[in-house]
Amino acid sequence: MATTVNIIVGSHVWVEDRDTAWVDGEVTKVNGEKIEVQTTSGKKVVANLSNVYPKDTEAPPAGVDDMTKLSYLHEPGVLQNLATRYELNEIYTYTGNILIAVNPFRRLPHLYDTHMMEQYKGATFGELSPHVFAVADAAYRAMINEGKSNSILVSGESGAGKTETTKMLMRYLAYMGGRAATEGRTVEQQVLESNPVLEAFGNAKTVRNNNSSRFGKFVELQFDKTGRISGAAVRTYLLERSRVCQLSDPERNYHCFYLLCAAPPEDIKRYKLGNPKSFHYLNQTNCYELDGVSDAEEYLNTRKAMDIVGISPEEQDSIFRVVAAILHLGNINFTKGKEVDSSMPKDDKSRFHLEMAAELLMCNVQGLENALCKRVMVTREETIIKSLDPDAATTNRDALAKTIYSRMFDWIVEKINNSIGQDPDSKNLIGVLDIYGFESFKANSFEQFCINFTNEKLQQHFNQHVFKMEQEEYTKEEINWSYIEFVDNQDVLDLIEKKPGGIIALLDEACMFPKSTHETFTQKLYQTFNNHKRFSKPKLSRTDFTIVHYAGDVTYQADLFLDKNKDYVVAEHQDLLNASKCPFVAGLFPPLPEESSKSSKFSSIGTRFKQQLQSLMETLSSTEPHYIRCVKPNNILKPAIFENQNVIQQLRCGGVLEAIRISCAGYPTRRTFDEFLDRFGLLAPEVLEGNYDEMTACEKLLEKKGLKGFQIGKTKVFLRAGQMAELDARRAEVISNAAKVIQRQIRTYIARKEFVALRKAATHLQTLWRGKLARKLYEEIKREAAAIKIQKNVRGYHARKTYTKLRLSAIVVQAALRAMAARNEFRFRKQTKAAIIIQAQWRGHRSYSYYKSMKRAGLSVQCAWRSKVARKELRKLKMAARETGALKEAKDKLEKKVEELTWRLQLEKRLRTDLEEAKAQDIAKLQLSLQAMQVQLDEANATLVKEREAARKAIEDAPPVIKEMPVVVVDTEKVDLLTNENEELKTLLKSQEKRADEAERKCAEVQELSEERLKKMEEAESKIDQLQESFQRLEEKLSNLESENQVLRQQALVMSPTKGLSGRSKTAVIQDLQSPVPALKDAAEAEQRPQKALNDRQQENQDALIKCIMQDIGFSGGRPVAASIIYKSLFHWRSFEAERTNVFDRIIQIIGSAIETQENNDVLAYWLSNTSTLLLLLQRTLKASGAAGMTPQRRRSSSATLFGRMAQGFRTSPSGTGLSFSNGGMIGGLDALRQIEAKYPALLFKQQLTAYVEKIYGMIRDNLKKEISPLLGLCIQAPRTSRASLVRGSARSHANAAAQQALIGHWQSIVKSLSNFLKTLRANYVPPFLVRKVYTQIFSFINVQLFNSLLLRRECCSFSNGEYVKAGLAELEHWCYEATEEYVGTAWDELKHIRQAVGFLVIHQKPKKSLDEITHDLCPVLSIQQLYRISTMYWDDKYGTHSVAPDVIASMRVLMTEDSNNALSNSFLLDDDSSIPFSVDDISKSMNQIDLSEIEPPPLIRQNSAFNFLLPRAE
C-alpha cells in the first residue's frame, strides 16, 4: 500500500516507529530512495521511500465516521482516524458497511437507551453516526424488505467487547421484533436471559479479559411473516475443555466452580466443598476472585437465570452436583500400587475425595476407582485388564473430568434451546455470531489451531463479501473492474482441512495408531508440507510447526495435539456413569448403539469441529452477512488509553487491513464530483470557468494532469493507489506558488504602508508644532481680555450693593404703615360676623322645635293604622296555621300506623321463626324414636333367629325316645312366646309409624300455615311500601304548602301598606290553604297519572337535543352554540342534581363518535372548542354535594317543585319581582350563576368531558406532528453545493438557486402547515390558551427533532448547514411574529437548543472561545455532553476553519468524566414530551367569562316549544 509518487520536500508523511507503530512528520530532504523526516515527536528519521505513506493534512480534526471517505486509505490513516475518534468518545466507525467498535472500558448508557434505538429505527445505513444499532437495523430491514435471512458476525480478541456487542444487537432486534408476553417471558427475553447461564459455565478469566467466552456462539433469531420473533436457537462451538484441568497464572477456571465455592453454607455442606485454594483444578493459579464481582451474588443470579430459562430445581441440583464432583475428582492423587505399573489412591484424603466424587455422581466407589486405575482391553480371544501407572491414572482422571464437563455444557445448551423453542415454520432468521478472534501466544496448542482455522474460514468469507461490495460499488457506478485482483487464502484452508493430506486428516490418522506420538506426527507434517509456502519448520524445535496465516505467522506446539484431538469416551467411564443412580448423570452418558460402536471406535474433535464449521459457513453463505469488528484499545483494560501497536495487530487479525488491501487493489480513493472539484479544481481553473458539467470537468482535469488508470463513475471519481498523493503533491505545489505570489504582494504592501506611515508622522509633527505656537499667542490675548472683564464686574458689584441697601430701607417703612391699617379693618369685620351667627342659631332652634312636635304626632297616627292592618293579617295567618296543624296530625297518625304495621311484621317474623324451630325439634325427636324402635326390632329379629337355631339344634341332638315328650311342648311354648313378642313389636312399630305419619302431617300443616303467614307478611310489606310512598308524597305536598306559606309571608312583609293584596289573590290563597284534607289523600293517585307523560316528554326533549348537537351548528359571536345549548338544557332540566339520568352518557357517546376520524382536524377543532367551553361552564358551576341534615327526597322535592324554586328565588333576591325564570334572568353571565350541588352522574360527566378534552387536544397535536415530521428530515441538511460550482457558469448558479429555493421551500411548507392549523383552530374559536399549548409542544417537537438529528449526523454539523438551518429558523420566527403572542405565546423559546447549537456552528473564531464563554454566553442551555459532541463533529465546509481549541475539548472531557456516573447527564439527546400540559383549573383560570344570554339557538331548537327557555330575552 505504500507509494513512491511525488514525495517532495515539505510533504507530510507517515513513517514507521517502534513504539507508536506510526508517527507523522515533514520531509526535510529527499535523497534518491532515502528521505529524511522531521517527526512531530522531535526526532529525525531516515526512511526508505517505499515504506512511507502520505498524510492528509486536510483531514477533519475529529476524523471521519466512514474510513472509505479518507483521502488515503492505508494503515496509518486508519489507525489515526480510530485514535482521533476514540479520544472523542466516538467508539464506532464504519469501513464501508463494516462496523469497527473500540471498547471504551466504561459504561456509556446514553448510547444504548430506548430513545437511541428509536432514532436508528428505520434510518438508512450511514445516515446517522456509526452505531451497533445501525447494523442491527440494516439486517432487520434487509430481512423484512428482501425476505432473505441475514447474519451479523461479531469478532475480536478476548476483551474487545464481543459479548457486550452481541447483547446490544440482541436488545435491538428484540426491540424491533419483540412483542408483549401473554404467558411467561417472550422468546427474545429468554434468549437474552440465557446469557448469564452460558457465561457461568462457558466463560472464564483470561490474561486479557475477566469474562472471556471460551466457546463460539451463534444465536439464531427466527422471525415470522410479520417480522416478529417466533423462535430462537443457540449453537456453540469448541468449548475449551482443557481449561477444566490445566490453568496458567493469572487466569481462572470456568466461573461456575468459583460460584459454587461461594454458595450458601447449606449447599457447601451438601457438596463437601470449601475454599477454592483447596482444589487442584482451581489452585494452579493465584487468582481466585475478580475485582468488583461477588461470586456469592453471582451464584444466586445464576440460579435465578437457570429458573428463567426452564431448568428445574432438581436439574440445577444435579448440575451443581456434577460441578462439585469434578472438583473432588481433581483432588484424587495416585501412587504406585502393589503390582508392577499399577496405581491406587495416594492417601486417606484422596480416598475421601474419591468417595465424595462417587457419592455426588451416584456411582459405585470401587467401580470409580477401577475406572481410574485400570483399563480393559478387548481382543478377539479374551478380555485383558491392564493396570495404569500413576501418571496414566492422572491423565485418565483428567480425561473423565473434561468429558463430564463438556457433556454437561452441551446438555445445558440443548436445554436452553428446548426451553426457548424453535419455529419450524419460520422462513427468515437473523443470526448473531459471537466467536473468538485470531489468537497468537507464546505457546499455541490445539485450541489456538482450531480458533485460527475458524478465523481463516471466516476471513475468506469476509474477503469474498468485501470484494462483492467493491464489485457492487463499481457496478453501481458503471466502471470497468474486470482486471482487479482478489486476494484469497484458500491455500491456507487447503493446508489445514484438505482430504486427504491436510493437517487435520494427518492428525486423525496419527490418533488412530496406538504407537503414534507427537514427534511422529510432526515428522509426518514436515515430510508432507516441506515445500508448502504457508508451512514452515522452526529451526530449534522438533515438535513445533509454523503456519503463515492472513494475520501473521503462528508457531504451534504439537505436544498435546493427539491427546486433545481424541474425543472417544473410555469404555469404563461410559459404563460406570451410564449405570449411575442419578438420572441426570446417566443421561449425559447414554448407551452407544452397537452398530456405531462396532463400526467406529475413534472420534476426532478436529473432524467434528470442521463439520460444525462447515455447517456454520453454509448457514452464513445462505444469509446476507454484516460485520462488526471489536477492538481492544489496550491490554490493561483501562479507559482513555489507545495503544497503537495493540490496535494495529488486532486490525490485522480482524481482517480490516486485509479489506483495505482488497480496496487498494482496485480504487481505494473515491470522491464525489463536487468534493473532487472542491479539492483539486485549482489545478485547472480554466476547466472550472468553462461551462462543463461536473463529470466532464473532472475527466478533463485528470486528463490535463496526465493521470492514467482512473475511472469516472456516475457520481464519483475513482483513483488508483498513489494517484491521490500525486494530485495532492501538485496541489501543494500550486498552493506553494500561490503562497509565494501572496507573500510578494504582502511584502510590497507592508513596505508601502511603512513609507506612508513615516510621511504621515512627519506631517503630523509639523502640525503639532504650529499648533503649539498658535495656542501660546491665543493664551496672551485671552489673559488681557480676562483682566478687562474682571474690572467691569467689580465696579458693577459695588453699584448694585449701594442700590439694594437703599431699596430695602424704603420697603420696611412701607410695610409697617400697611400692617397698621390692615389690623384696624380686621377688628371691625370680626365684630359684625359674631352678631350674624347668634341670630342664625336662634332662628334654627325655633324651627327645629316645631318640626319635632309635628313628627311625633304623625308617627302616632301611622302606628295606630298599621297595628290595625297587622291584626287583620294575623287573624288570617292563624287560620292557615290551624289547617297546617290538621295536616301534621294526619301525618302523625300515619306514622303511628306505619310503626304498628312494622311491629306486627316483626312479631310475625318472630312467630314464624319459633314455629320453624319447634317443628325442627319435633321432627328430630320423632326421628330419634323411629331409630330406637328400628334398633329394638332388629334386636328382636336377631334374638328370634338365635332361638330358632338353638331349638333346631336341640331337637337334632335329643334322643328319639323323648322327642315327642315335653321337649316338643317346651319348644312350642317358646315359639308361641316369641311369636307373641314379634306381634307386639309389629304392633308397636305400626303405632310408631302412625305417629310418624301424624307428625309429618302436622309438619305439612305447620309449613302451609307458615307459607300463608309469609304471603300475608309480603302483602303487609307491599302495603307498607305503598304507605311509605304515600307518606313521601304527603311530605312533598306539605313542604309545598310550607314553601307557599313562606312566600306569602315574605310578600306580606315587602308590600307597602298602600298596595295590599287584591281581594281576588287573597281569596285564592285562602281557598288553597283551606282545601279539604281528603284532597291530600288523592294526591298520590293524581301524581301517578301524569308521571309517565312527564317522562315521555323529557325523553323527547333529550332526543331533540341529541339530534341537534349531532350536527355542526357552528358558533354565535365566537361562542360555541352546541356547548351553550347543552349547558342551558341540562341546567334547566336540573340534570346536574339528578340521582339517575342517561343524558350525560348520550352526550359523551355523540362526542366519541364524532372524533373517530382522527385525520379531520376541522372536526377535532370544532369539538375541542365545544368540550373545553362546556368543561369551563361545569368547572365554574358544579360543586360536590355536601348538604347535611336533609334527606335526599326532601332536597329533591324542595328544588323540583314550582314553589320550591320560587322560595329559592326569594332567598336569592331582595324582592319578588325577579321570579321570572326566563333565559335572560337566569344566565346573564357566569358570575350570575349560582353553585350547584352536583350528584354523582354530573361529576362523572365532568370527568369524562375532561378526558375527551385531553384526548382531542392530543389528537390535534399528534396530527400536526405527523404532518411536519417528514419535512423536518428534509430541513436539517442543506443541499450540497461545491465551492467550485460557484464560479462555473450560469447553469451552475441556476442550480444552486434552485437548491436554495428547495430548502426554503421545505421550511415554507412547515410554515404553511402551521398557518393552516392555526387558521383551522381560529375558525373553530378554540380557546387561545389551548392554541398556545399546542404550538408550544409543536415547537418543542421541532427543537427535539432538529437537535437530535444534528447530533447524530456529522454531515449536518457544518458551517454552511448551520447557515441554512438558521435561515429556516428565521422563517419560523417571522411566522411567530405574524401569528401574534395571543396564539403562539412563548413557543419560540422552545427552540432554544437548536437555536444555540446553530448559533455555535456559524460563529467565527471558535478556537479563540474559552469554555466559560461557550457555556455561559453562547450556549448556556446546552449540556457539556451536547457541546462536546457538537464541537467534535463540527467541520467547516465553507471557509475551512477549525472547531474549538484542544484545551477546551480536554476540559469538556474532564467534566464529562467527573459526571460519568449520572446516566441522565450522559445522554446528549433530547426527549419529546407528549404529556398533556394543562389541567382543568388551568383552563378555568385562563379562559374569559362567557356570556350565554344572547346566543341564538339553531332552527331545529327554535321550532320546539319545549326549548323556549333558550330564546333570548327580547323574544
Q: Which tens digit of pLDDT belongs to each residue from 1274-1291?
A: 787 665 554 444 444 444
Give the separation between CA 61 and CA 1434, rounded to whole angstroms: 9
Q: Please confirm, yes or no, whether 675 is among the known catalytic residues.
A: no
Give the separation between CA 1515 and CA 1502, rounded to whole angstroms: 11
Residue 377 pairs with which residues in a beta bridge? 384
Give the separation between CA 623 and CA 664, rounded to whole angstroms: 27
Query: Under 8 Å CB-to-CB from 21, ≥6 apart: which residues?
Result: 76, 79, 644, 645, 648
Q: Is 93 left (phi over 0), alpha (psi -120 to 50) or beta?
A: beta
Here the cell at position 731 is 496541489
Half-sphere exposure of 571 (CA within 13 A, CB side): 12
Q: Please confirm, yes or no, whether 158 is among the known catalytic residues.
A: yes
Here the cell at position 530 is 516441506
Question: Number of H helices and number of E strands within the chain?
Answer: 49, 28
Q: Please confirm, yes or no, whether 1075 is among the known catalytic residues.
A: no
693-721 pLDDT per residue, tens:
888 888 888 887 777 778 788 788 877 76
Residue 135 one-letter amino acid? V
Residue 1060 pLDDT exceeds 50: no
For 1405-1419, what is the mean pLDDT? 88
Rg of the chain over all Cα atoms, to the nearest angstrom: 54
Asked if the peptide bond before residue 250 counts as cis, ω within 30 degrees of 0, the response is yes
For 363-391, what is the mean pLDDT? 82
Give the separation between CA 968 and CA 963, rounded to whole angstroms: 7
Other C-beta atoms closer than 10 Å to the C-beta of 295 total 19
Give the separation between CA 162 and CA 146, rounded to whole angstroms: 28
Q: Please confirm, yes or no, whether 1368 is among the known catalytic residues.
A: no
Residue 1205 pLDDT exceeds 70: no
Cα separation values, 871 from 368, 511, 859, 1055, 1069, Å: 127, 138, 18, 16, 18
Residue whose C-alpha cell is 486427504: 500
- What percent of the chain is predicted at pLDDT more than 70? 84
Asked if the peptide bond before residue 959 counts as cis, ω within 30 degrees of 0, the response is no
Residue whose C-alpha cell is 449453537: 235
Which of 1235 and 1109 is assigned the larger pLDDT?
1109
From 25, 77, 156, 159, the catalytic residue: 159
Residue 1092 pLDDT exceeds 70: no
CA 382 from chain centre, in angstroms, equals: 72
Q: Please confirm, yes or no, whether 163 is among the known catalytic residues.
A: yes
For 1396-1416, what is the mean pLDDT? 88
Here the cell at position 1273 is 428530515
CB 1372 within 8 A of CB 1391: yes
1421-1479 pLDDT per residue, tens:
998 888 888 888 887 777 777 788 888 888 888 887 776 655 444 567 888 888 888 88
Here the cell at position 1254 is 385531553
For 44-50, what is the mean pLDDT? 86
CB 506 within 8 A of CB 524: yes
Q: Pairing between strand 98-102 and 624-631?
A: parallel
Residue 1201 pLDDT exceeds 50: no
Query: Under 8 Å CB-to-CB from 1174, ≥6 apart: which residues?
Result: 1120, 1123, 1126, 1127, 1249
Other C-beta atoms closer than 10 Å to the C-beta of 219 total 24
Residue 202 pLDDT exceeds 60: yes
From 89, 194, 209, 1161, the catalytic residue: 209
Query: Under 8 Å CB-to-CB from 378, ≥6 apart: which residues?
Result: 384
Which of 1205 and 1273 is assigned the larger pLDDT?
1273
From 81, 158, 236, 1432, the catalytic residue: 158
User: Residue 1514: phi, psi to the nearest 5?
Assistant: -65, -25
651-683 pLDDT per residue, tens:
877 777 766 766 666 676 777 887 788 778 888
From 369, 439, 447, 456, the catalytic residue: 439
Residue whose C-alpha cell is 448694585: 800
Query: Under 8 Å CB-to-CB from 986, ≥6 apart: which residues?
Result: none
pLDDT score at 185: 62
Here the cell at position 1485 is 383560570
The alpha helices in 707-722, defined as continuous H runs, are none
For 87-99, what is the mean pLDDT? 86
Lowest average pLDDT, out of 446-455, 1349-1358, 1492-1501, goes to: 1492-1501
985-1037 pLDDT per residue, tens:
888 878 877 887 887 788 788 778 878 877 887 787 777 877 777 777 676 66
pLDDT score at 1302: 57
CA 1027 from chain centre, in angstroms, equals: 65
Residue 756 pLDDT exceeds 80: yes
Q: Please confirm, yes or no, whether 1355 is among the known catalytic residues.
A: no
Give the separation between CA 943 and CA 951, rounded to whole angstroms: 12
Give the confidence band of 1191 by pLDDT, cuts at 50, 70, 90: very low
From 150, 155, 212, 236, the catalytic residue: 212
Other C-beta atoms closer than 10 Å to the C-beta of 986 total 12
Virtual torsion, Cα 168, 170, 175, 178, nearest 10 deg: -170
Lowest average pLDDT, out of 687-701, 831-845, 1085-1099, goes to: 1085-1099
Residue 867 one-letter amino acid? S
Give the confidence band of 1208 by pLDDT, cuts at 50, 70, 90: very low
Residue 555 pLDDT exceeds 50: yes
Give the separation between CA 1427 and CA 1420, rounded to whole angstroms: 10
| DSSP secondary structure letters along 29-74 | EEETTEEEEEETTS-EEEEEGGG-EE--TTS-TT--SBGGG-SS-S
Specify the DSSP class assigned to residue 6: S
Query: Under 8 Å CB-to-CB from 150, ≥6 apart: which residues?
Result: 139, 140, 142, 143, 429, 430, 431, 623, 624, 625, 626
Which of 653 and 1123 is assigned the larger pLDDT?
1123
Residue 468 pLDDT exceeds 80: no
Specify the length of the chain in residues.
1515
pLDDT score at 750: 94
For 585-595, what is the mean pLDDT? 78
Specify the DSSP class assigned to residue 1435: B
Residue whose C-alpha cell is 500500500: 1
CB 34 within 8 A of CB 49: yes
Q: Please confirm, yes or no, whether 437 is among the known catalytic residues.
A: yes
Reference 342, options 368, 384, 372, 367; nearest CA is: 372
Residue 317 pLDDT exceeds 50: yes
Give the confidence band of 956 by pLDDT, cuts at 50, 70, 90: confident
Cα separation values, 643 from 45, 84, 225, 269, 1165, Å: 21, 12, 47, 48, 62
Residue 745 pLDDT exceeds 90: yes
Residue 872 pLDDT exceeds 70: yes
Q: Pairing between strand 1115-1116 and 1119-1120?
A: antiparallel
Give the separation between CA 1036 and CA 1053, rounded to whole angstroms: 26
Give the separation between CA 896 and CA 1402, rounded to whole angstroms: 95
Which of 1497 and 453 is assigned the larger pLDDT?
453
**Which helix or strand (DSSP H or E) is residue 545 part of?**
strand 544-549
Which of 1489 and 515 is assigned the larger pLDDT?
515
Residue 580 pLDDT exceeds 50: yes
CB 1105 within 8 A of CB 1125: yes
CB 170 within 8 A of CB 646: no
Give the separation between CA 695 and CA 714, rounded to whole angstroms: 8
Q: Using CA of residue 743, residue 748, residue 749, residue 753, what is the dihedral sign?
A: positive
Give the separation between CA 966 and CA 964, rounded to whole angstroms: 7
From 210, 213, 1124, 1169, the catalytic residue: 213
Residue 1231 pLDDT exceeds 60: no
Specify the DSSP class assigned to residue 105: S
CB 303 within 8 A of CB 295: no
Give the separation between CA 1363 and CA 1403, rounded to whole angstroms: 10
pLDDT score at 661: 67
Average pLDDT of every residue of the chain? 80
Give the separation between CA 39 and CA 410, rounded to whole angstroms: 56
Q: Please confirm, yes or no, whether 1305 is among the known catalytic residues.
A: no
Residue 308 pLDDT exceeds 50: yes
Q: Is 488 exposed, middle or buried (0-12, 13-18, 19+ CB in 10 A)?
A: middle
Here the cell at position 631 is 477492538
Q: Pairing between strand 343-345 and 552-557?
A: unpaired
Range with top average pLDDT, 173-182, 1295-1304, 1482-1491: 1482-1491
**Sheet containing 98-102: which strands, arranged edge to edge?**
92-95, 98-102, 624-631, 150-155, 428-434, 216-223, 229-237
For 1252-1276, what is the mean pLDDT? 87
614-639 pLDDT per residue, tens:
888 888 888 888 989 899 898 888 88
Residue 1313 pLDDT exceeds 50: yes
Cα separation values, 78 from 71, 100, 102, 678, 886, Å: 11, 11, 13, 23, 111
From 77, 330, 337, 437, the catalytic residue: 437
Give the separation between CA 94 and CA 832, rounded to whole angstroms: 117
Reference 481, options 492, 470, 497; nearest CA is: 470
Residue whose C-alpha cell is 476524523: 63
pLDDT score at 893: 82
Residue whose C-alpha cell is 464519483: 716
From 3, 93, 149, 163, the catalytic residue: 163
225-251 pLDDT per residue, tens:
888 888 888 888 778 887 888 887 788
3-state secondary structure of 630: strand
Give the confidence band of 772 by pLDDT, cuts at 50, 70, 90: very high
